[in-house]
């Protein structure tokens, strides 16, 4: 089809009307800040004073030699990402499998398990602060079970666990909804054929259904990874980075360095490295989703 022939060319003002406002907004909100940010990453600016001096790549050296908190934030974020990806996807897929067995009140259950996903991370962090500080020890006392009575947000290991528990509780519903869509999309003929061949429910699920859902599973994997790497709200409200800065995520670390520690130059350098990390994850994702598109269509 030759579109150009049937439509004579629009006038300049029409181009401006449709693309102009978005272009200007884009320039102000994304492009200019991004360029400035790279510029500041080579300085020692503290964010307030008028004194800014060029210090080359010293900020980046500080980041990679562990002089800034970036590496420990990276370690935290990385561990959380791995735990989250595994737990969230297993829980979500298992829930989807249970909910596609034609049990009654299926859609009501779907609503319940998706519910935390629509409440913001900040509010949920505070909700769980109460649960971990007051609720869990009370349950521990009731069951006379020691490990539950410890201050969960007070030690490093349990604070990690707390963050994973809350993130999985919040994000599992997303995986579940996607996987329910994937599982119900599988043709029943295939499943029937497998049944006739004598396959049991487990074999059908693991050997037939899951492989067919692979494109959706990849999609959920990357969603959970990038959610974990961009974590900020939940981290800010649940542990505030404590105990002793052991649970500071990458985004929270950038925020702290810029606004609490007055290391603006360093923070912009950290935010650039953060950008590169997300870039790598998203590029791998785009590579896979291009494949996925071919499979889904």
Partner 1 sequence: MSKRAKKQKALIFVIVLILALIFVYPLFLIVMNSVKPLAQILTKPLSFPDVIQAENYVKAFKEVNVLHVMKNTAVLTIGSVAGITLLAAMTAYWTFRYQTKYSKVFETFVILSMLIPFASLMLPLVQVMKVLGLNNSMFGTILTYWGIGLAFAFFMMQSAVKGLPVELEESARIDGCSRTRIFFSIIIPLLKPTMVSVVLMDMFWIWNDFMVPLIMMNNERLMTIQLSISRLFGQYASKWDIALPALVMTMLPIVIVFILLQKKIMDGVIAGAVKG
**Of 29 and 82, which has the nearer Cβ to partner 1?**
29
Q: Tell the residue number behind the tokens 């579940």, with chain if given.
A: 176
**Of 147 and 276, which has the nearer Cβ to partner 1?**
276
**Of 83 and 272, which has the nearer Cβ to partner 1?**
272
Minimum distance between the CB of residue 45 and partner 1, rounded to whole angstroms? Answer: 10
Minimum distance between the CB of residue 140 and partner 1, rounded to whole angstroms? Answer: 11
**Of 60 and 274, which has the nearer Cβ to partner 1?**
274
Distance separating alpha carbons of residues 170 and 237, to the nearest angstrom = 14
Minimum distance between the CB of residue 227 and partner 1, rounded to whole angstroms? Answer: 11
DSSP the chain: --HHHHSPPPPHHHHHHHHHHHHHHHIIIIIHHHHHHHHHTTB---SSSS---B-TTHHHHHHHTTSSSHHHHHHHHHHHHHHHHHHHHHHHHHHHHHHTS--TTHHHHHHHHHHHHHS-HHHHHHHHHHIIIIIHHHHHHHHT-HHHHS-TTTSHHHHHHHHHHHHHHHHHHHHHHHHHHHHHTS-HHHHHHHHHTT--HHHIIIIIIHHHTHHHHHHHHHHHHHHHHT--HHHHHHTTT-STTTT--HHHHHHIIIIIS--HHHHHHHHHHHHHHHHHHHHHHHHHHHHHHHHH-
Minimum distance between the CB of residue 246 and partner 1, rounded to whole angstroms? Answer: 20
**Of 115 and 190, which has the nearer Cβ to partner 1?**
115
Q: Which residues contact 31 (CB under 8 A, 6 or more apart)?
A: none
**Of 83 and 132, which has the nearer Cβ to partner 1?**
132
Minimum distance between the CB of residue 43 and partner 1, rounded to whole angstroms? Answer: 12
**Of 103 and 196, which has the nearer Cβ to partner 1?**
103
Q: Please give, one letter per residue, the 3-state secondary structure of 260-282.
A: HCCCHHHHHHHHHHHHHHHHHHH
Minimum distance between the CB of residue 211 and partner 1, rounded to whole angstroms? Answer: 18
Minimum distance between the CB of residue 147 and partner 1, rounded to whole angstroms? Answer: 17
Q: Which residues contact 224 (CB under 8 A, 6 or more apart)?
A: 81, 84, 85, 88, 89, 171, 175
Minimum distance between the CB of residue 122 and partner 1, rounded to whole angstroms? Answer: 4
């Amino acid at each position: 089809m030759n579109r150009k022939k049937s439509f004579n060319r629009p006038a300049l003002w029409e181009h401006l009307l449709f693309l102009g406002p978005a272009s200007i907004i884009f320039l102000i909100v994304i492009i200019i800040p991004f360029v400035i940010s790279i510029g500041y990453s080579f300085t020692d600016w503290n964010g307030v004073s008028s004194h800014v001096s060029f210090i080359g790549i010293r900020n980046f050296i500080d980041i990679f030699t562990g002089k800034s908190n970036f590496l420990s934030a990276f370690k935290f974020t990385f561990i959380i990402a791995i735990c989250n990806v595994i737990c969230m996807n297993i829980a979500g897929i298992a829930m989807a499998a249970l909910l596609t067995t034609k049990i009654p009140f299926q859609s009501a259950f779907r609503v319940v398990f998706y519910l935390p996903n629509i409440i913001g991370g900040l509010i949920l962090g505070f909700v769980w602060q109460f649960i971990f500080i007051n609720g869990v020890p009370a349950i521990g006392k009731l069951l006379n079970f020691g490990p539950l009575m410890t201050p969960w947000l007070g030690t490093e290991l349990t604070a990690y666990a707390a963050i994973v528990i809350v993130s999985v509780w919040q994000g599992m519903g997303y995986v579940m909804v996607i996987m329910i869509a994937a599982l119900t999309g599988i043709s029943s003929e295939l499943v029937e054929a497998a049944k006739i061949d004598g396959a049991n429910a487990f074999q059908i699920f693991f050997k037939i259904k899951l492989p067919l859902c692979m494109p959706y599973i990849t999609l959920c994997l990357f969603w959970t990874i990038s959610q974990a790497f961009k974590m900020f709200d939940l981290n800010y409200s649940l542990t505030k980075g404590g105990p002793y800065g052991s649970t500071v995520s990458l985004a929270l670390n950038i925020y702290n360095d810029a606004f609490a520690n007055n290391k603006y130059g360093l923070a912009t350098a950290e935010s650039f490295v953060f950008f590169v990390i997300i870039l790598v994850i998203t590029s791998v994702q785009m590579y896979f989703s291009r494949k996925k598109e071919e499979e889904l269509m």
